[in-house]
Amino acid sequence: MRLAIEKKIVLYSSLLVALLVNLPKLLQARSDGWVSQFSTFNVAELCFQFCFTYLYCWLVFELNLHWFPRWRKGGLATDFAIYPLSNILLLLLCSTVGIVVQGNLFSDAHHLPLRFFRVVYFARLSLCWLLEILVIRIIYLLRQAQAKDLETEQIKSQYLYAELELMKQHLNPHFFFNSLSTLSGMIRENPGKAQQFIGHLSRIFRNLLQEQQQLITLKEELQQLHSFTELLQMRFEEGIVISVEVPPLYHQQLLPHLSLQLLVENAAKHNRALASQPLQVRVYVQDNELCVKNNLQAIAVPQASAGLGLANLNERFRILLKKEITIIRTLEYFLVKLPLEGGKGGGY
């Protein structure tokens, strides 16, 4: 994309500069103009002069934007003096060639002394060079800005990857310990159910260990959440009720990976889940936001928490979607609202 933009800038700038410096030649078309006193208007000479000027402009861009970087990369241009010297040599060479060729082809069209004709020709190409140096400087500034943006994106990508890995590590280790304890009891009481439990647990481990994209569709996130909720319901049985009410219309919306599992895991971690007082967790869409809501029934001895999970989740939303999550806590419930990003086939 950057090369395509640079090519357009070079093309349009060369055409514009060539047109500007050849405006006096166009003024010769007026027979009563002051410029016509020095030379006769000739369409063929104007076309030649315009094309030659454009060629010189293109060579200046090629020299400064492409040849110099290659020389630096190959170690052929370590001395700073080679850059202005190369531009001066190109200017002198093109001026000499243009003066000789145009002077011989259109000698009858000029009433100027040869020395003055050479000075005017050299001045015209020098003006081209000055105008192009300004454009070249702008292009180099754009290159530096794009390089900084690319570096920033790489750092941001590495940061988000680290955030995701940290989130995976912070997913409650006690959950796996409790799951293994539950599995131990199931093996003795219900081997068939234990086999299902192992299948869901293995899928959760696979989702955590596999390298995932930062943004995935809501459909994929719900599929990965399914095994997690199945384990919770096998473990707590009637002590937890998890309902997912997300219309297919929103399945192609995008959100950061592991967003839902973290929120459901936090709900199970910080609240009682008893058959007499079931923990109710709802996942639904409201006002174009994905909501995860649970009733509050705090455990007697709450587990220590630094709040890093929600903070990291909010940071990932802020960077990836340029939006932030909303956290609402009342005496009755805890609610987290997640903004969604449109994906393929998605809509609101």
pLDDT digits (tens, 9 = 90+) for 240-253: 999 999 999 999 99
Of 156-160, 163-167, 199-203, 235-239, the range with the highest mean pLDDT is 235-239
Q: How many CB atoms lie within 10 A of CB 239?
A: 17
Would you say residue 303 has pLDDT above 80?
A: no
Would you say residue 328 has pLDDT above 90?
A: yes
Cα–Cα distances in angstroms (integers) from residue 17 to residues 12, 64, 123, 270, in the given order: 9, 16, 14, 70
Please give the residue that has the higher pLDDT: either 11 or 31.
11
pTM over 0.75: no
**Cα-to-chain-centroid distance, residue 90:** 39
- The 8-class DSSP code of residue 275 comes to S
Nearest to 303 by CA among 268, 334, 258, 264: 268
DSSP codes joined into one string, 204-224: HHHHHHS---SEEEHHHHHHH
Structural element, H or E, at residue 108: none
Please give the residue that has the higher pLDDT: either 52 or 114.
52
DSSP codes joined into one string, 157-189: HHHHHHHHHHHHHHS-HHHHHHHHHHHHHHHHH
Nearest to 200 by CA among 182, 174, 216, 217: 182
Q: What is the mean pLDDT of residues 136-161?
A: 77
Q: What is the mean pLDDT of residues 18-45?
A: 68
Would you say residue 185 has pLDDT above 90?
A: no
Would you say residue 99 has pLDDT above 80?
A: yes
Question: Residue 305 — left, alpha, or beta (φ > 0 → left; ψ -120 to 50 → alpha)?
Answer: beta
- CATH for 171-339 (3.30.70, 3.40.50, 3.30.565, 2.60.120): 3.30.565
Mean pLDDT of the chain: 80
Q: What are phi and psi of 32, to 5 degrees?
A: -95, 5
pLDDT confidence of 346, banded at 50, 70, 90?
very low
Would you say residue 109 has pLDDT above 60?
A: no
Q: Which pLDDT belongs to residue 100?
A: 87
Identity of the residue numbered 247: P
Q: Which pLDDT belongs to residue 149?
A: 79
Tell me how far apart the alpha carbons of residues 134 and 282 are, in angstroms, rounded to a whole number.
Answer: 61
User: Residue written as tokens 């190369």?
Assistant: 86
Would you say residue 36 has pLDDT above 60?
A: no
Confirm if 61 and 14 have CB atoms less than 8 A apart.
yes
Would you say residue 158 has pLDDT above 90?
A: no
Q: Which pLDDT belongs to residue 304?
A: 54
Nearest to 344 by CA among 206, 230, 217: 217
Q: Which pLDDT belongs to residue 242?
A: 94
Tell me how far apart the alpha carbons of residues 108 and 121 are, in angstroms, rounded to a whole number.
Answer: 17
Percent of the chain at pLDDT above 90? 24
Residues 260-263: contacts with CB within 8 Å, 24+ apart?
A: 260/221, 260/222, 260/225, 260/290, 260/292, 261/171, 261/224, 261/225, 261/228, 262/167, 262/171, 262/309, 262/310, 262/313, 263/292, 263/313, 263/336
> Within 13 A of 247's CA, how many CA atoms are on the CB side?
10
Would you say residue 320 has pLDDT above 80?
A: yes
**Annotated domain spans of the chain:** 2-152, 171-339
- The 8-class DSSP code of residue 324 comes to -
Q: What is the mean pLDDT of residues 267-286?
A: 92
